[in-house]
Amino acid sequence: MSQQSYQEKTLPQVVAAAAQRHGSRPAVTEGDFQLTYAELDVRRREAARAFCAAGIEHGDRIAIWAPNLHEWILAAIGAQSIGAVLVPLSTRMKGIEAAFQLNASGARMLFTVAEFLGARYPEMLADQELSALERVVLFEGASSGCDSWGEFIAAGATLDEAQLDARQAAVVPSDTLDILFTSGTTGKPKGVVTSHGQNIRVFETWSSTVGLSADDRYLIINPFFHSFGYKAGWLSAILTGAHMFPVKSFDLDDVLARIESDHISMLPGPPTIYQSLLAHGERQNYDLSSLRLAVTGAASVPVEMIRRMSSDLGFESVLTAYGLTETCGTVSICRSDDDPETIATTSGAAMAGVEVKCVDDSGAEVARGEPGEIWCRGFNVMQGYFNNPEETANTITGDGWLKTGDVGVMDERGYIRITDRIKDMFIVGGFNCYPAEIENLLCSLPGVVQAAVIGVPDERMGEVARAYIVQTPEAGLDEAQVVSWCRDAMSNYKVPRSVRFLEALPLNASGKVMKPELRKMAEQESP
């Protein structure tokens, strides 16, 4: 579809259309609780009326700090239906971190739970200065000074339907849909502003390209506060009519049991999820035959893992993709008819309507096959960083190119191989060393479940590689074995000079390895 003929949409239009198209089909199942698509739209309107009754105006920000629950979706789509802006907060944050994002966004309302995995969210905010926050509503539990979800919804019951229709009609595709904060690994988190129209178009394209359909039963493991669980998760499910099964907290045994009991067909996630499934000692005791579609992506996606996802887990379609918060979550995607080698070794080509190139330090495009920073331009590029024009100007060029900060190599077909983050690169004796390349190779060593590599100081070489490895219980690998294997498998400057074995790598909520945590470990011990 050409850009000229595409008709942009708003979130309330999308949910209403899903109700018309899929009506009595199940939309969300959460334990014994279920909503059809028709019921989802009714509940959306209830939540929208409640936001109106609460005094939320067009453009106001509301924050959600909670695990994957159906109320999370209802609060989001209810607020977005009247032009309010969603600000998702990571469930792993502490009070001071949440307060920063609440204040930076100017959120007027916060939706959360009394407690999750030992974290008591309202209590964590008790001693924080919150300049704009007026009200806290709890999806679950009770806490002093907070309203319940039921009380919030009930307050909107008497609002006139015509008033709600007028508020919805005032929402246009160019309005801000959400503000997602970056991880803040290179400084304070920045709020990424994106619109209704661009997000919906991105994930219509994404869903069509990966083949998500109304017949899919979608286990959403990725957290809703991340674009993988929110936009490639429940938003894409609504766009296609897929049946959603939210996962509140990740447990590998529970995931295997739910694949069998709920006949799950769609299971996306970071590589760590599939690596864990493949390494599970009791996997053969579960019926995984319903699995059909997997979508993954990261700087390091082991080739062997992609192959085993088809051969051992039974996925009919395994696709890789690449994106970042500043691009609504997506830049490039593999296609279903790509050959296995392409899917295993690349993150696909630019999605339709988006341009991608790899550039050198001066911004000049490099030759195909040469590494460079990935830049992209198109309808997926953010509106900017919230209240931060300086960082916006540093990140988006005058002619619309977004500087991703990722290093990649583009082949003659336009397919991208992500090699690493610029900030993760280290230099060994004058050679640029990209951790993801080493990690990919290490994951092909028998017995290695996961691997992460960082640069550590070295008196002679400046920096050298250190590998952190999670191995299978029966592997029995030691440092000497790993280093010896690496000397046979990779160039000498890439070979880790030291190896540390961990029971688990430190991961963020989206399943990515937290390299700063590994660097802290390295600083606390001798090389």
- Considering the domain architecture, whether residues 178 and 289 belong to the same structural domain is answered as no
Residue 299: predicted pLDDT: 56
183 pLDDT band (50/70/90 cuts)?
A: low
Quickly count: other Cβ atoms within 10 Å of residue 187's Cβ. 8
Q: What is the pLDDT of residues 279-336, one digit of tens each?
A: 898 999 999 999 999 998 765 567 778 888 999 999 999 999 999 999 999 999 999 8
Which domain covers residue 463, as residue numbers?
427-523
In a domain, 278, yes or no: yes
Start-end of H helices in 110-268: 121-124, 149-154, 161-169, 196-210, 227-229, 236-240, 252-261
Structure pTM?
A: 0.85
- Considering the domain architecture, whether residues 433 and 405 belong to the same structural domain is answered as no
- Considering the domain architecture, whether residues 396 and 482 belong to the same structural domain is answered as no
- Considering the domain architecture, whether residues 318 and 417 belong to the same structural domain is answered as yes
Say which CATH number the domain at 52 has: 3.40.50.980
- Considering the domain architecture, whether residues 102 and 166 belong to the same structural domain is answered as yes
- Considering the domain architecture, whether residues 396 and 475 belong to the same structural domain is answered as no
- Considering the domain architecture, whether residues 290 and 393 belong to the same structural domain is answered as yes
In a domain, 67, yes or no: yes
Residue located via tokens 């907070």: 146
In a domain, 213, yes or no: no
Rounded Cα–Cα distance for residues 147 and 135 (Å): 8
Domain end point (choices 361, 396, 422): 422
- Considering the domain architecture, whether residues 166 and 287 belong to the same structural domain is answered as no
Q: Structure tokens of 462?
A: 């400046």
- Considering the domain architecture, whether residues 310 and 355 belong to the same structural domain is answered as yes
Residue 1: predicted pLDDT: 46
In a domain, 468, yes or no: yes
Residue 508: predicted pLDDT: 76
489 pLDDT band (50/70/90 cuts)?
A: confident
- Considering the domain architecture, whether residues 483 and 464 belong to the same structural domain is answered as yes
56-95: b or e for each residue (b if 16 or more CB lie within 10 Å)? beeebbbbbbbbbbbbbbbbbbbbbbbbbbbbbbbbebeb
Residue 37: predicted pLDDT: 98
- Considering the domain architecture, whether residues 332 and 384 belong to the same structural domain is answered as yes
378 pLDDT band (50/70/90 cuts)?
A: very high
In a domain, 494, yes or no: yes
Quickly count: other Cβ atoms within 10 Å of residue 506's Cβ. 16
Residue 185: predicted pLDDT: 43
Structurally, how many domains does the chain consist of?
3
Q: What is the pLDDT of residues 430-451, one digit of tens each?
A: 666 778 778 878 988 999 999 9
Residue 439: predicted pLDDT: 87
